[in-house]
Structure 1
Amino acid sequence: MTDERTIVACVDGSAYAAAACDAAIWAAGKLDAPLTFVNVISRRKHAAAADYSGQIGLGTREHLLTELAELDGQRARLARERGRDFLDTARQRAEQAGRPDPTTRQRNGELVDALHSMDDEIRLLAIGKRGESAGDDDHLGSNLERVIRGVSCPILVTNQSFTPPQRVLIAFDGSKTGQRVIERAVATPLLSEVEVHLVYVGQPNDERRRQIDAAAETLRAAGATLTTAVLEGDVEPALHDYQRQHGLDLMVMGAYGHTRIRQLLVGSTTTDMIRRAEVPLLIVR
């Protein structure tokens, strides 16, 4: 049965949007799937003028309220036009890469709500690690974390540039989610013809070693060029150090598990893991 769900990229004015587009274009090609670009205009950012009439000195200046409302209307219109420009640029980028006729959608509201309403249609979501509203500091903001929690599809989080991955790190913790990551890694064309590093962080007991060996055998049986590694230390820095040392260009991990890897994607450490990643991160359900 053909999977007609679409690959979706979130498009805004951030420095990460182009990479999200490129990642989605790559994924659509690997999966032979439709491609959709989505631009969401936040209600909070472009809300209608508030009613300040109860504040001292403003009640008699109704013309100011009218001007504020008109100004907010103009801002909303400009935001829509700006968003359409982003979508047009993304469409052109896809067509130049050989993916003609992508779908474009513009939505009002919050990003997570817009994506949640499309959840059944999305096969994979590509999104930059920082959006336009994240500012110029080193913080991701809460939008990305809400998206990770709010949608059920795999999520490919990109940096400011994206190149098709050739050498992939799969973080494995032995949990049911970790085992599903292996099953999906074997099944998806996204990870075909790549070198795979299967990495476990911690002191494995006999059961964990059996699970690591079984996961490795599954990957080898699927034709993967495979390296396995068992690391000591804290999960997050150990994974990042290994990725850098071996020049890996994609990290893959489950969204939820039952060991320390689970903690990376629950609470504040979610953003820490993504913020410090130097390569794209594929989060698998």
Structure 2
Amino acid sequence: MNKIIACIDHSAAAAAVCDAGAWVSRRTRRPLVLLHVLDQRLYPAKTDLSGNIGLGSRTQLLEELADLDRQRSKLALEQGQQDLATARERVAEQGVADPELLQRHGHFVEALQDLQDDTRVLVLGRQGEEHQGAAQEIGGNLERVIRTLACRILITPPDFKAPQKVLFAYDASPTAKKVLSIIARSPLFKGIPIHLLMIGEAGEKNLGLLHAARQELIAQGHTEVDTQLMQGPVEKTLLAYQQQQQLEMIIMGAYGHSRIREFFVGSTTTNLLRLSPVPILLMR
């Protein structure tokens, strides 16, 4: 797990993905890969149209239709190469001089699975080409990626700004404790103030859990760690605190409940992805 993979496309989010990928690459001193995937669902490598043509239609029509699909895929491939070149120029301006450029043709999630073993952090835009302009929608592939991959995933809104203060949504669960351990030892947030927010009942137990979490961060060299215990609906309380304190990134575990439970009560992860005005770093 050595590389930072930034997934770009032809959407407005590509610039933010480049900026976020460059930021993570610089902070962690890991190589940056700019990835463009030509989705096979939209641009099949080979098209069989024979079942769509009625009896008596000419072979020439089949050939012309197949040729149109080939031309469309070729143009999309060339557009992707241009997008990669533009992305390379942008990350160079951010201090990453020699990123690896990678282009794949296939299913998006499968392409990321193939690269997962060498992925340290995956950087995605909240909305791709199909959802740009829909302020509170998330891209169609995003939830599938989060549920399928086990790597760390940074999701950015259309604008990315390097965070000066971050919010860690902490609930002392086994997942949160694992995330805490990773964050404490990672160079990604060293020197950046961290706010630990627990949403739960006021009491000595939760205050003690917050104190222990703070001490673990301090023991690993984090000098500015604030803790806060609050009550209220999770999404509303967390986002209100983020805005009040002007925190510029949220760190949290991903999808803590089963799909059946989420069908009835909704998913905190998905809701925050939709509503958050700042990037979210998800840890499985």
* TM-score relative to the length of structure 1: 0.90
C-alpha distance 39-54 of structure 1, shift in aligned 2 (>3 A): closer
- 2:81 corresponding residue in structure 1: 84
- 1:229 corresponding residue in structure 2: 228
- 1:115 corresponding residue in structure 2: 112
- 1:156 corresponding residue in structure 2: 154
Query: Deviations along 1:155-195, whole A, 9 cap, x unmatched?
Result: 11001111211110000011111111211121111111111
- 1:187 corresponding residue in structure 2: 185
- 2:143 corresponding residue in structure 1: 145
- 1:6 corresponding residue in structure 2: 3
With 168-177 and 140-149 compared, the bigger mean Cα shift is at: 140-149
1:198 corresponds, among 196, 199, 209, to 196
Displacement after TM superposition at 1:205 (Å): 5.8
CA distance in 2, matches of 1:111, 1:247: 34
**2:238 matches 1:275:** no
Contact in 2 for aligned 1:175/1:257 (Cα 8 Å): no
Contact in 1 for aligned 2:4/2:120 (Cα 8 Å): yes
CA distance in 1, matches of 2:52, 2:181: 60
- 2:38 corresponding residue in structure 1: 41
Displacement after TM superposition at 1:103 (Å): 0.3
Displacement after TM superposition at 1:28 (Å): 0.7
CA distance in 2, matches of 1:55, 1:81: 30
Contact in 2 for aligned 1:49/1:65 (Cα 8 Å): no
Displacement after TM superposition at 1:223 (Å): 3.0
Query: Residues 88-103 of structure 1 correspond to what in structure 2 (within 5 A)?
Result: 88-103=85-100
- 1:20 corresponding residue in structure 2: 17
CA distance in 2, matches of 1:152, 1:67: 43
With 10-19 and 214-223 compared, the bigger mean Cα shift is at: 214-223
SS of the equivalent of 2:82 reads helix
Which sections of structure 2, spanning at least 5 residues, go unmatched? Answer: none
Paired residue type of 1:166: Q
- 2:239 corresponding residue in structure 1: 240
SS of the equivalent of 2:130 reads helix
Displacement after TM superposition at 1:206 (Å): 4.8
Displacement after TM superposition at 1:224 (Å): 2.8
C-alpha distance 66-176 of structure 1, shift in aligned 2 (>3 A): same
Displacement after TM superposition at 1:255 (Å): 2.0
**2:66 matches 1:64:** no
Contact in 1 for aligned 2:167/2:242 (Cα 8 Å): yes
Q: How many residues end up aligned between the 2 structures? A: 278
Paired residue type of 1:156: L
CA distance in 2, matches of 1:135, 1:62: 39
Identity percentage over the alignment? 40
- 2:102 corresponding residue in structure 1: 105
CA distance in 2, matches of 1:109, 1:284: 26
Displacement after TM superposition at 1:96 (Å): 2.3
With 70-79 and 201-210 compared, the bigger mean Cα shift is at: 201-210
C-alpha distance 230-143 of structure 1, shift in aligned 2 (>3 A): same
C-alpha distance 67-55 of structure 1, shift in aligned 2 (>3 A): closer
C-alpha distance 267-124 of structure 1, shift in aligned 2 (>3 A): farther
Paired residue type of 1:236: E
Q: Superposition RMSD on alpha carbons, in Å?
A: 2.3
Paired residue type of 1:217: Q
With 198-207 and 209-218 compared, the bigger mean Cα shift is at: 198-207
Contact in 2 for aligned 1:53/1:59 (Cα 8 Å): no
C-alpha distance 59-171 of structure 1, shift in aligned 2 (>3 A): farther
SS of the equivalent of 1:180 reads helix
Paired residue type of 1:117: D
CA distance in 2, matches of 1:125, 1:247: 25
